Chain A
Amino acid sequence: MLYFQTWKVILILAACALGVIFSAPNLFSADRLASWPDFIPKRQVSLGLDLRGGSHLLLEVDMASVERERLNGLVDEIRGALLDAKTGYTGLAVEGDHVSFSLRDAGDLNALHDAILKLDPDLQVNLTSGGVSTAKFLDAAVLARRRSAVDQSIEIVRRRIDETGTKEPTIQREGDDRILVQLPGVENPEHVKELLGRTAKMTFQLVDTDASAEDARAGRLPPGDELLPTADNRPGTPQFYVVKRRVMVSGDTLTDAQPTFQNGNEPVVSFTFDSVGARRFADATTSNVGKPFAIVLDNKVISAPVIREAILGGRGVISGNFTVQSANDLALLLRAGALPAPLVVLEERTVGPDLGADSIRAGTTACLVGVALVVVFMIVFYGLFGIFADIALFFNLCLMLASLSFLGATLTLPGIAGIALTMGMAVDANVLIYERIREELRGGRSMISSLQAGFERAFGTILDSHVTTLVAGILMFFLGSGPVKGFAVTLSIGVLTSLFSAILVTRLQIVTWLRRSKPKEIPI
């Protein structure tokens, strides 16, 4: 017990040395570190947004609206299928998560069933001749769609944010349908929010010149058309357009979009199609020369120019009352692609950089004062053994910082509180051991056997008490969120490192001291 094999000594010392080496970079500024040679570890603890300043946005992928839209589309498709089959129906409408309708005459139900299923293989169709028939999307299909929509959204969000030039953004999935965006150093997230708040679904659709917007607004909308408001609300321009539902070309075939100027100083966005888009665009423009087509973004008409000649090169220009900023934004959105569903901001937290700096200062001060107090306390109450405990505490602190740096864990203000608290609790293991030694001495045991018994008997207690704290820490990590998680990380790491330092590092020191100075009695 009071003897260490050489390899164990080496391991313990190596662990301590690694702790010091890997925690050291945290003492220096990033600039200083950059000038060091590469073989020196440079990884620092990454600071949470509450410490470094920045914006945190929690977004939700609004699938409900997409599903609603999809059901509305299904209503149109079923109407078409019923018309094709010449089957009479009443009450065709969306109801909750399905489309319901009543068939007027019982024709060939099987054929009709197949016809509807042909619209979308993911449908679950239930037809009855007398009562209410329903059609809904399979749950598994809805779920798969939702999952892929969130994945796709994350990708698009990442692209859009990268385009804004934000440094080191974090974009990750949170729960089922949420996206957590962290933007260090961003003090005003309004612009980012604006960019993320648009789905940016662009389509080119023909304007139906035979229908008037007034008629359509009064409810006389020709079949196959839709009424769209205009994005350009300057006086003198039409407020609504009646456009064909059929999409000539959609924005997902764009390969590039850039802001530029037209006629000297009018900001516009130029775009380039891929080969598929270029062909479609060429076909559509060739057969519709002289007619206006609408450039539609998120169900609003940006502009509706007249096709003067067939556009064969796959390139074009969108004009439409842009400012330099809005042309830039539109180009960015088109480059990054459309979101599969709108995003809703659930939570927004922004911390200024000087508050972050203040928090770091306050947290560090609190930690240092706490450690200093504990160090003095241990020396006062345990003398030389207190110094041993303090040295172990120092290595504990190093190991904690090293683990945090190494694991890439994020340190938050509650995390700093976790460090301070762990420092106070870490010496508990030493206290348990030392008190036990005192007790054994009082019980009349010899010096060596008291030391031995102290370590042996205290070990079980220390293990139990550490494991219980660790249980709380791990649960906090998995069930908690935000600050709770940050706190749980440092608490759990602290428990583990203090188990090592308080038991092994302390014991190694005591064993070495025994061998070196051969004391007659223990100063405890």
Chain B
Amino acid sequence: MFRPLIIIRRIPNIDFMGLHKIGFALSALLTIGSIVLFLVQGLNYGIDFSGGIIIEARTTQGPADLAAMRAKLDGLGIGQVSLQGFGSADDVLIRVPRQPGDDKAQEKAVETVKAALGDGIDYRRTEVVGPTVGHELVFKGVMATIAALFAIAVYVWFRFEWQFGVGAMLSTLHDTITTIGLFSLLQIEFNLTTLAAILTIAGYSINDTVVIYDRVRETMRKYKTLEFKQLINKSLNETLSRTILTVSTTALAVLSLFFFGGEVLKGFSIAMLWGIVIGTYSSLFIAAPLLYYVRPKGKADRKPVLAAPGAPQSPPMPAGPGSAAPPAGRSPGAP
């Protein structure tokens, strides 16, 4: 068997805490910028949220001539019709705003578009969404995100200490806000699928943070006397190899989605790519340094942490104050 490639042979000694103020400043900038972008420029809501009509068409004879199609669709009296290439040269995405009136009016607009474009076109997808549904979806989406953030924070709080919960929630909030900022900046269509991406980013980011927090907690127990900044640095450096490898495998999966998953998943993949980068960054430069400011006590004699059902519980540690405790072992409860 050949030797595996080891990227980090010796545990590095990067001074993450020394960089944390730059990180905080950068993140503050990104967060504020995202909020400003969101307020000023807003999001490019897809019809899931705004209501309206979307038609995906493919020309059957040669590539689509967008200019000619645009000319045909102008002045039909159905509002601002927008046309956009969609993947291959044959594919066009036609957007028609929500028509005033009922369901029949929407249907008529679809017919009008099809009649104006004439023959030689294959209609691959037609979606008509009413405005009430759109508003509900926005509401549901926002609620799902808030609930997810909250539930995750509570879980981390139970498993660790409240300080960790606060740090995890803040860094995840940061990731979520900046992802929305990216959507606003690039004007990528914001639809239900991208909403799923944002929730997954929250999940991924917290996942990454939890791994690091886990190590911080362990180091706190092992090295009672270690200065807190050093303690965080040590934890981050020790987990750095894992951080890099996991980011890589996840990024590989998302990159293949981006390149091969088709047009519909493009927005989702972009969001996820950004989420992986920002999620990792925030674990290193936001979530971990935040602990320095909230200072969890990490007391060994704290009541046993609540575990998920079936999870092993950390045994209370027999360490006296100041003494170097033996390595914090988890109970060998793995099934």
Contacts and interface: CB of A to CB of B under 8 A. Distances in A.
A344 B203 contact: no
Contact of B122 (A352, A365, A369, A427): A352
A475 B147 contact: yes
A469 B203 contact: yes
A391 interface: no
Interface residues on A, range: 35 or more
Contact of A365 (B3, B123, B260, B272): B260
A371 B230 CA distance: 38
A484 interface: yes
Contacts of A442: 11
Given A362-B260, A378-B249, A435 B196 contact: no
B193 interface: yes
A305 interface: no
Contact of A484 (B192, B214, B245, B272): B192
Contacts of B2: 383
Contacts of B250: 421, 424-425, 428
Interface in A414-462: 414, 416-417, 420-421, 423-425, 427-428, 431-432, 435, 438-439, 442, 455-457, 459-461
B204 A461 contact: no
B203 A459 contact: no
Secondary structure dominating the interface of A: helix
Interface in A346-375: 346-352, 354-355, 358-359, 362-363, 365-367, 369-371, 373-374
Given A464-B210, A468-B207, A350 B196 contact: no
A469 B207 contact: yes
Contact of B144 (A366, A367, A413, A480): A480
B192 A362 contact: no
A438 B4 CA distance: 12
Contacts of A193: 103, 107
Contacts of A457: 218, 329-330
B315 to A, nearest CB: 12
A40 interface: no
A1 B332 contact: yes
B232 interface: no
Given A1-B334, A456-B329, A468-B206, A417 B265 contact: yes
A354 B122 CA distance: 10
Nearest to A486: B196
A345 interface: yes
B257 A461 contact: no
Contacts of A455: 334
A476 B192 CA distance: 11
A168 interface: no
A254 B199 CA distance: 52
A463 B103 contact: no
Closest 6 CB pairs of A and B: A424-B253, A362-B262, A472-B203, A479-B144, A383-B4, A370-B256
